[in-house]
Amino acid sequence: MEQKIAEGLIYFVVFLLSTTLHEASHAWTAHRLGDSTAYDGGQVSLSPIPHIKRSPIGMLVLPLITSVTSGWPIGFASAPYDARWAIAYPRRAAVMSLAGPSANLALVLLAWIAIRVGVLTGLFVAPDSVRFGHIVNASADGFAASIAFLFGAIFSMNLLLCVFNLIPLPPLDGSGAVPLLLDEANGRRYLGFLHRTPGLLFIGLYISWQVVDFVFHPLFLAAVNLLYPGVHYG
């Protein structure tokens, strides 16, 4: 039980920092592309405090409670933007939407590199089996084992955040990126339709929760298998 709570708290910290980077990337990109709504609200920050102030339930209360009780954080966050700007510049808004998942992907790559370096130097070893968060073992007990779990948690959670948010259904970032596939006029119509139909958010979230594991699991195994040449996890 104590180990479950300890791992849950590590997941909570990883969630907090990863979500902060995700939302700050949205806010910074929007600011660079002409919408300073989130910038003026303090969301262009790597400190979690402004993001917690905007979404205290989703960023702090709910993920902390679920991390302790279930060993896994559940939460949400958002960066504000001007809908009029998004509709006027649908491609810019699409790039802004992709900034958050791109930040999570960057953290996946950094964790992957750190684990790979640890394996090459003998600090880490391949486990007998893998699951979410548990993708690398330390060659010795103690502090190294905690670091191994931390890197595994960063890798796994950010891969999940990236994959989940790229599902092209509202309110997820993948839906906001659709205008990159459309011309300007249809991009405006598409974003205008989304903003006029808020009920789609609940439908999109429900469907996304049903399909994310089918998308995430094979990608997770493929990424982990690349860590260990000659070892195959299935």
Instruction: Write out the catalytic residue numbers.
Output: 23
Of 25, 22, 41, 45, which is closest to residue 33 (Cα–Cα)?
A: 25
- Residue tagged 């890798």 (tokens): 155
Of 99, 84, 93, which is closest to residue 28 (Cα–Cα)?
A: 99
Alpha helices in the chain, H assignment, sequence order: 2-32, 37-40, 48-54, 56, 62-70, 83-88, 90-120, 143-165, 173-176, 184-196, 200-227
Contact 28, 45 (CB under 8 A): no
Three-state secondary structure call for residue 137: strand
- Mutual angle of helices 2-32 and 143-165, in 10-degree steps: 50
Distance in angstroms (rounded) separating the CA atoms of residues 200 and 6:
37
Three-state secondary structure call for residue 43: coil
The phi, psi pair for 137, rounded to 5°, reads -110, 155
